[in-house]
Amino acid sequence: MAEQDHSGTQSFHWNIRQSAAVDVPRLKELGVAGWETTYAEFVRPENRALYLDGAFWSLAQLERIVRDPASLALVADDGTGLVSGFLTVEPIPDNRVELTRFYVDPTLRRSGIGSALFSAALDQSRTTGARSMLVNVFADNLVGRSFYERAGFQLTSLEPTIVGDQAVGDAWYELDLHRRDARSDTRSDLEP
């Protein structure tokens, strides 16, 4: 269990735990909220709707990942069962893993939930012996990109991709999980 008390205008307490099938509708809700806030700046509404209705965000696919022992699905809950954020990590070839979803409730962002989830995911991914973690993020998602860059991810490629009928940029990053300076905490208040 991870718990953090953020000393800002509000205090937040949450636990990081493995996701369960009962969380799946909430995971979808958090994904939709992320697409409808952050991604609304660069993905058109009809294309957001198309993607959110597709296989990647289907309840069946989310449930498959939550139940898959080879994948990791972590949630932050506030102790009452309310899930404030989640991430998924899936195995990919060549002894690597991919961070495939990472979303925090828009009303609770910037309070350390993302960092706590990410730190737990790094720890657990290392214990599986995976050598590196990949992530792809929309090139225009500057908050997402800076989060990964602070964590030590290296940009490996910038390439176009298609969402619905529009072209967007995709930034691919990779983090060597066993590099000594890989950071599990991306909060600036904890910077040396």
Which residues bind to ligand COA, rule: CB under 6 A? 34, 38, 102-104, 109-115, 137, 141, 143-144, 146-147, 150, 186-189
Q: Which is nearer to ligand COA, 16 or 114 (CB)?
A: 114
Residue keyed to tokens 């994904």: 31
Least separation in angstroms between CB 182 and ligand COA? 16
Comparing CB distances to ligand COA, the nearer of 129 and 160 is: 160
What is the C-alpha separation between 123 and 186, in angstroms, rounded?
A: 14
Distance of CA 112 to the CA centre of its chain: 13
Residue with smaller CB distance to ligand COA, 14 or 129? 14
3-state percent breakdown (helix, strand, coil) of the chain, nearest 5? 35, 30, 35
Least distance CB 113 / ligand COA (angstroms): 4
Nearer to ligand COA, 115 or 132 (CB): 115
> Tokens representing 25?
């509708």
Rg (CA), the chain: 16
Give me the residue whose beta carbon is nearest to ligand COA. Answer: 114
In whole angstroms, how close is the CB of 6 to ligand COA at the nearest point?
8
Beta strand pairing call for 83-92 and 132-138: unpaired
- The rounded distance, in Å, linking the Cα atoms of 47 and 163 is 6
Cβ atoms within 10 Å, residue 85: 25
Joined together, the tokens standing for residue 36 give 């409808």
Task: Report the nearest approach of ligand COA to the CB of residue 144 (Å).
Answer: 3
126 vs 150 by CB, closer to ligand COA: 150
CB of 53 to ligand COA, least distance (A): 18
